[in-house]
Amino acid sequence: MERQEKSVLIIEDDKDIVELLSFHLNKNKYKTSYSYNGEDGLKKARDNNPDLILLDLMLPGIHGLDVCRILKSDQNTKNISIIMLTAMGQEEDIVKGLETGGDDYITKPFSLDIISARIKSVLRRSTINQNDIEKTINKHGIIIRPRSREVIIGKKYINLTFTEFQILYLLASHPGWVFTRYQIIDKIRGDNHPVTDRSVDFQIVGLRKKIGEKGKLIMTIRGVGYKFLPDDT
């Protein structure tokens, strides 16, 4: 029932892929629209404010990374969830996309079941569950406010993606605890999310970069996962 109200904008220059995705998503009760290039995609995103965008990176005209960057820097569109569609071997673009605000990525060729699972997962976590809202955290000079999704270091507000914020909040609220990559995914994305170790690593890379020197507080536990340093270190 909830998904009937969700809208998805497909920005993809391959018309066959657009047709396939549109048919599949409409069948699953999503409202869809589409664009074949970055310029038109930006216009439709601003005009229609969809719940989620499936964004191909290799677009004619404006590159998909620039589309993502522009949308995430605009107050009116920054909360639109974005799943990037990438070709195998575009690892550098994936990292850049996650750093600029992309919520997830899917590599081509993909299965429609994977598309459905990822969309459902991203939309689910983009809607903040009021029952999960907890108190503000202040650790090592980092202030994390879950109600407003604000992160403040010193007097500077740090702009994190939804997933980056969730990871930071999870780790910082349990200092000293070691979380495996799969535990992190389970906590922030829910069950049945197709995941690889690399997807968590990409998010951690972007998170550390954005919080600067404080990135050292997120420790890699080789062969296991990650932890946030406790207060007494």
Does 185 have pLDDT greater than 90? no
Instruction: Output the pLDDT for position 126.
Output: 65
CATH label, 2-126, candidates 3.40.630.40, 3.40.50.300, 3.40.50.2300, 3.10.20.740: 3.40.50.2300
Mean pLDDT of the chain: 85
Full strand arrangement of the beta sheet holding 218-221? 178-180, 225-228, 218-221
pLDDT by residue (tens digit) across 98-136? 777 788 888 888 899 989 988 988 887 666 444 445 688
The one-letter amino acid at 97 = G
- Per-domain boundaries in the chain: 2-126, 130-228
- CA angle 178-181-187, nearest 5°? 85
Residue 1 has pLDDT above 80, yes or no: no
Domains 2-126 and 130-228 share a fold: no
CA 184-83-2 angle, 5° bins:
85
Kindly indicate whether the domain formed by 130-228 is annotated with CATH number 1.10.1740.10.
no
Q: Which residues contact 109 (CB under 8 A, 6 or more apart)?
A: none
Summarised one tens digit per residue, pLDDT across range 136-178 is 899 999 999 887 788 999 989 998 887 888 899 999 999 999 9
Q: What is the number of other CB atoms lying within 10 angstroms of the CB of residue 190?
A: 12
Structure tokens at 195: 């995941």
On the 0-12 / 13-18 / 19+ scale of CB atoms within 10 A, 178 is: middle
**Confidence bin at 3 (pLDDT 50/70/90):** very low
